[in-house]
Amino acid sequence: MLTINSITVRLGGRTILDNASATLPPRGRIGFIGRNGAGKSTLMKVIAGTLEADSGSIDMPKSARMGYVAQEAPAGSTTPFETVVAADVERNALMLEEEHLVASHGDAHRLAEVHERLIAIDAYTAPARASRILVGLGFDEAAQHRPLDSYSGGWRMRVALAALLFSQPDLLLLDEPSNHLDLEATMWLENFLKSYRATIVVISHERDLLNNVVDNILHLEGGKITLYPGGYDDFERQRAERLAQLASAREAQAAQRAKLQDYVARNSARASTAKQAQSRQKALARMQPIAEAVTDPTLVFNFPSPPQLKPPLVQLDHAAVGYDGKAILEQIDLRLDPDDRLALLGRNGNGKTTLARLLSGQLPAMSGSKHAPGKLRVGYFTQYQVEELDADDTPLEHMSRLMRGAAPTAVRAQLGRFGFSGAMAEQKVGKMSGGEKARLALALITRDAPHLLILDEPTNHLDVDTREALVQALNDYNGAVVVVSHDRHMIEASADRLVLVDAGRAKEFAGSLDDYTDSILGKGPASPEGGKSKANKKEDRKAAAAAREAQAGLRKAVKDAEAETARITARRNEIDRALFDPATAVPADKSRTASDLMRLRGELDRELAASEAKWLAASEALETAAG
């Protein structure tokens, strides 16, 4: 069991965590969520012991082993395999002691104890286990034995993650572990965590991971933490109910406050009632305001719509692409039309980014042909653009440089499409969160209303709410979209076509994303063509697009019905308060008689029944449509 006791942390004069407390269940799988910059990583560091809190404490069993990935990626001439095996400190020490005892004919009793402990911790199967973890995270047999210095920082962070998983701590702390992973490795990690037998606390913004792996959600907001049972969908439902109750309570409190203030104003000057007025003034002072639900005006994505171009936007015929005269992908036949929504699948290193660069015009076709209209404008997003932003400049300065000659109002309007309005447009980039920098990069690449958006891992550092806003903006965008992402929710919600990049080829994948993920987990084949004709695949794409559109409408109907039900329930609660305690009635109900209130309540009961019926019908229709 892990207990977080009244943790307060102040950084740079700002309170990040404010008396935060929660008790996490033993062997719980906890999804830790909150908006970007809320303080999730800060609390994780406090739990891990790498940051000292200003006040409060973390309690856990003294014998419990904790595992946390350091910020620095491992480096040097050692191999990924050696690094992972070395992570089990106890095993390595026992293996050395065993070797010494055997060589020196030492204490036989101690040797037996060492043997017994080595068997208990599965020490002799450790090399095979280390290799399986590395394979799951994308390292084949040859890659496991190359020096770490031959890998990029992202791949070395995978090694750090593999070492942590191999060490099997009693408390596993993971801070956005899928940021450096592709879809295939993310799927493997999900399955690994599902079967992990100790406590997990994972900061994640992946809806699927938060629904499929965790059994509790720890939500951080306004410096406080709240534990909700269930996965992310359960959290959303419970939080919506809680917010509806808070809204109702705020209205009741506002009415009571108005009544007290009115009494004080009318009676303070009278000697006969001054004492009572003074008492009510004290009651007003003691009344703690109920916080209003926090809304974030910066949660904005709004891609400018491009002028129409005749299809196709891009046509590849038997094209090859690569670097320094060496082809990475060959025989590519691919067409992109103005309304296409395409997702590129395949492990990192197979050529997804290379294909994206060919489509964007950054790389030429080495052979075959590529045709695109001369007026085609492409917006190409990568993490490198986020990293290359000037920390000393503001969003306004970045955009002004790229929109040289444009009116200041046009520059600010483009920034406003992505939530950088007013003072936010003039903050230094160095003080912005990773999610804010990603939003700025998206604002910059879409300044000229591109006909084609190519997004390479756009969701890294975006929280769940921001990812959902991005998906909605992509669905509203009138141009074509090509996306590379390890976020299955984003692919499912925004892509109608799948292209598998594998073994030097890029071919349309005829099945669904579920078919592809099944193939990753060994539940089915990953045949790109699936024996379907082009005509059939085109019909499938149309059907997929229609199904996605229909499901989006049904999801909206479910949410609208939920909101309507919450509104009616809150109003009915107001009527009940007015009936049983007229003093707490909202102003509109104070002039109504009891019979009027009962009549209103009856009408609300009928409205509530109709709303619940709407919700049930929409939910059943959505379940049927989802299959």
- The better pLDDT of the pair 147, 546 is held by 147
Q: Are both 2-235 and 314-531 of the same fold? A: yes
Q: How do residues 425-453 score in pLDDT, each as one tens digit? A: 999 999 888 888 999 999 999 999 999 99
Residue 345 in tokens:
């699948």
Q: How far is CA 351 from the centre of its chain?
A: 25
Residue 410 in tokens:
């046009």
Q: What was the pLDDT predicted at 530?
A: 45
pLDDT above 90: residue 216: yes
Comparing 88-102, 297-311, 526-540, 568-582, the range with the smallest average pLDDT is 526-540
**H helices within 377-463, ranges in order?**
383-387, 395-402, 408-416, 434-445
Q: What was the pLDDT predicted at 286?
A: 62
pTM: 0.71
DSSP, collapsed to helix, strand or coil, labels residue 215 as coil
User: In the CATH hierarchy, which top-level class contains the domain 314-531?
Assistant: alpha beta
Q: What was the pLDDT predicted at 289?
A: 56
438 within 8 A of 462, measured Cβ to Cβ: yes
* Most trustworthy range by pLDDT among 11-20, 95-104, 369-378, 520-529: 369-378
Residue 540 banded pLDDT, cuts 50, 70, 90: low
Handedness of CA 287, 293, 298, 304 (dihedral sign): negative
pLDDT above 70: residue 548: no
The residue written with tokens 């009856």 in the block is 602
Q: Which of 531, 491, 485, 481 is nearest to 512 (CA)?
A: 491
The residues, any chain, with a CB within 8 Å of residue 384's CB and separated by 6 or more, are: none
- Which runs of E-coded beta strand occur in 35-74? 55-59, 66-68
DSSP, collapsed to helix, strand or coil, labels residue 194 as helix
Residue 519 banded pLDDT, cuts 50, 70, 90: confident
Q: For 259-319, what is the HEC assignment?
A: HHHHHHHHHCCCCCCHHHHHHHHHHHHHCCCCCCCCCCCCCCCCCCCCCCCCCCCEEEEEE
Q: What was the pLDDT predicted at 568?
A: 87
Rounded average pLDDT over 20-39: 90
Could you tell me which residues are beta bridge partners of residue 505? 502
What's the CA gap between 442 and 471, in Å, rounded? 13
Give the DSSP per-residue string, 490-509. HHHHH-SEEEEEETTEEEE-
Residue 358 in tokens:
């060919």
Q: State percent of the chain over pLDDT 70.
A: 88
Rounded average pLDDT over 104-131: 87
Rounded average pLDDT over 536-546: 55
Handedness of CA 458, 460, 461, 467 (dihedral sign): positive
Residue 569 in tokens:
């329930």
pLDDT above 50: residue 40: yes
pLDDT above 80: residue 74: yes
Report the chain's mean pLDDT, rounded to a whole number: 85
Q: How do residues 281-338 score in pLDDT, each as one tens digit? A: 766 676 555 444 445 555 678 899 899 899 999 999 999 999 988 999 999 999 999 8
Q: Is 601 exposed, middle or buried (0-12, 13-18, 19+ CB in 10 A)?
A: middle
Q: Which of 492, 626, 489, 521 is nearest to 209 (CA)?
A: 489
Comparing 271-275, 285-289, 498-502, the range with the smallest average pLDDT is 285-289
What's the CA gap between 41 and 121, in Å, rounded? 31
Give the DSSP per-residue string, 114-129. HHHHHHHTTGGGHHHH
Q: What was the pLDDT predicted at 549?
A: 59
The residues, any chain, with a CB within 8 Å of residue 618's CB and separated by 6 or more, are: 554, 557, 558, 561
pLDDT above 80: residue 279: no
pLDDT above 70: residue 206: yes
pLDDT above 50: residue 531: no
Q: How far apart are the two ends of the chain, measured CA to CA in Å?
A: 39
Q: What was the pLDDT predicted at 218?
A: 95
Rounded average pLDDT over 120-141: 90
Half-sphere exposure of residue 32: CA atoms within 13 angstroms, side-chain side: 25
Does domain 2-235 bear CATH number 3.40.1160.10? no
The residues, any chain, with a CB within 8 Å of residue 512's CB and separated by 6 or more, are: 498, 544
Comparing 140-144, 364-368, 581-585, the range with the smallest average pLDDT is 581-585
pLDDT above 70: residue 550: no
Comparing 4-13, 32-41, 405-414, 523-532, the range with the smallest average pLDDT is 523-532
Q: State percent of the chain over pLDDT 90.
A: 43
What's the CA gap between 469 and 417, in Å, rounded? 12
Q: What was the pLDDT predicted at 296?
A: 57
For 493-520, b/e burial (b = at least 16 CB within 10 A) is: bbbbbbbbbbeebbbbbbbebebbbbbb
pLDDT above 50: residue 608: yes
Supply the DSSP symbol for 422: G
The residues, any chain, with a CB within 8 Å of residue 335's CB and separated by 6 or more, are: 312, 314, 315, 316
- The better pLDDT of the pair 118, 6 is held by 6
Q: What was the pLDDT predicted at 537?
A: 46
The residue written with tokens 């300065």 in the block is 397
- The better pLDDT of the pair 278, 129 is held by 129
Q: Show me where the domains of the chain are located.
A: 2-235, 314-531
